[in-house]
Amino acid sequence: MNWKDLVELLKGHKTYIQTHNFPDPDALGSAYGLQQFLKYHGVETSLCYDGSISTLSARKMIEEFEIEVTNAADLPEMKEEDYIVLVDGQKYNANFTDLIGDEVACIDHHPTFVECEYKYSDIRLVGACSSLIAEYYYKSNTPIEEKAASALMYGLRMDTASLTRGVTQLDIDMFSYLYKYTDNDKITMLYINTMEMDDLKAYGAAIENIKVVESIGFAHIPFECNDALIAMISDFILSLNEVSACVVYADREGGYKISVRSVSEHIHSGKLIADALEGIGNGGGHAAMAGGVIYKEKAEDIRENIEEVVKDRFLAAIRSGNCENVR
């Protein structure tokens, strides 16, 4: 759909831009970039999320670019007739809280696993949602300020690991477009400084528990940690020479949060996690990266054997051939 359709849809309505829960830099960059784009075209919006801003990279990004984003718990004034634009995720996803407002639009770069009707939908499989928002500026010749360009660039770099993961031609084109408007020294510093001392506990637990079976790395973090940190540890384990795909999971509110990564020609991460968690949870994502959850009520039955259950389910899904990656 055309960006003009989105502007016309939102005019005259109180509008919120909602990221997925526990937003990462791509979600925040997309939301902020879209907010500034819509503002130029006469639509005022507020940014919101559920969960928490728990990673250093997200907190520093908010501070550096002066992003005003509100937790859903602090939005008592939201009404059913208010419009919501979802970014970097889709309604009914496990990581998207269904707020009281009306989800009229969705801009996302992930595959669709639960169909939903929107008045405006821009769902394309690219490396970063920030690339989709950057294209709105590019195609409309909308002036882009340095902070918006830098936020989008940071989101793009983080979600594609600096154009090394899940990259499409659009990501490359938008990287080139944004580069001349971005504070690249600031982006480099943000990109390098993404860890805190407490994060090392999760890395240590994953390293202590890692098992490699048939080139698949499995690691259980036996305590709660945020989604972005689990994803970072997945990337770390995938860097091992002996590993072509990895499954990292951590305790989460009585259940488990799972991150999958793959560089194998034969393993599509999104298909793998959806197949492996059938009946006990849900998940999905791209060929190279995916995420999911094991439900609390199902986790109770398998907690004592969680490592064996996860290993057996994922290996069985791979051996079935249903997770073949078509690149």
Domain end marker among 192, 214, 247: 192
> Do 128 and 237 sit in the same domain of this protein?
no
Q: Is residue 107 part of a domain?
A: yes
> Do 120 and 228 sit in the same domain of this protein?
no
Q: Is residue 326 part of a domain?
A: no
- Residue 270: CB partners within 8 Å, gap ≥ 6? 111, 283, 284, 285, 286, 287, 290
Q: Is residue 327 part of a domain?
A: no
| pTM across the whole model | 0.83
> Do 14 and 87 sit in the same domain of this protein?
yes
Section 206-228 average pLDDT: 93
Q: Is residue 60 part of a domain?
A: yes
> Do 51 and 172 sit in the same domain of this protein?
yes
Section 254-258 average pLDDT: 94
Q: Which residue has the tokens 């009585």?
A: 254
- What token pair was written down for 18? 């909602």
Domain end marker among 176, 192, 208: 192
> Do 109 and 228 sit in the same domain of this protein?
no
Q: How confident is the prediction for the chain on average, in pLDDT?
A: 93
- Helix (H) or strand (E) segment spanning residue 127: none
CA distance 74 to 292: 27
> Do 59 and 181 sit in the same domain of this protein?
yes
Give the domain CATH number at 203. Answer: 3.10.310.30
172-184 pLDDT per residue, tens: 999 999 999 999 9
DSSP string, 53-107: --SHHHHHHHHHHT--EEEGGG-TT--TTSEEEEESS-TT-TT----SSEEEEEE
Buried b (16+ CB within 10 A) or exposed e, 283-304: bbbbbbbbbbbbbeebbeebee
Q: Which residue has the tokens 């791979």?
A: 318
> Do 163 and 217 sit in the same domain of this protein?
no
- Kind of pairing, strands 83-87 and 15-18? parallel
Structural domain harbouring 225: 199-320
Percent residues over pLDDT 90 in the chain? 79
Could you tell me which residues are beta bridge partners of residue 45? 15
Between residues 166 and 119, which one has the greater pLDDT?
119
265-318 pLDDT per residue, tens: 899 999 999 999 999 998 888 889 999 999 999 999 999 999 999 999 999 999
Section 208-234 average pLDDT: 92
> Do 165 and 262 sit in the same domain of this protein?
no
> Do 155 and 286 sit in the same domain of this protein?
no
Question: Does the pLDDT of residue 38 top 80, yes or no?
Answer: yes
166 φ/ψ sector (left φ>0, alpha ψ -120 to 50, else beta): left
Q: How many domains does the chain have?
A: 2
Q: Is residue 239 part of a domain?
A: yes
pLDDT at 327: 46
Question: Does the pLDDT of residue 65 top 80, yes or no?
Answer: yes
Asked whether 287 and 262 are in contact (CB, 8 A), the reply is yes
> Do 203 and 282 sit in the same domain of this protein?
yes
- Residue 118: CB partners within 8 Å, gap ≥ 6? 103, 104, 105, 106
Domain end marker among 171, 192, 213: 192
Give the domain CATH number at 23. Answer: 3.90.1640.10
Question: Does the pLDDT of residue 186 top 60, yes or no?
Answer: yes
pLDDT at 326: 57
Is residue 306 exposed (0-12), middle (13-18) or buried (19+ Cβ within 10 Å)?
middle
Section 128-155 average pLDDT: 98
pLDDT band at 234 (very low <50, low <70, confident <90, very high): very high
Question: Does the pLDDT of residue 56 top 50, yes or no?
Answer: yes
Question: Does the pLDDT of residue 197 top 90, yes or no?
Answer: no
Q: Which residue has the tokens 């079935």?
A: 320
Section 161-188 average pLDDT: 94
> Do 226 and 95 sit in the same domain of this protein?
no
Question: Does the pLDDT of residue 119 top 60, yes or no?
Answer: yes
> Do 172 and 212 sit in the same domain of this protein?
no
Question: Does the pLDDT of residue 48 top 90, yes or no?
Answer: yes
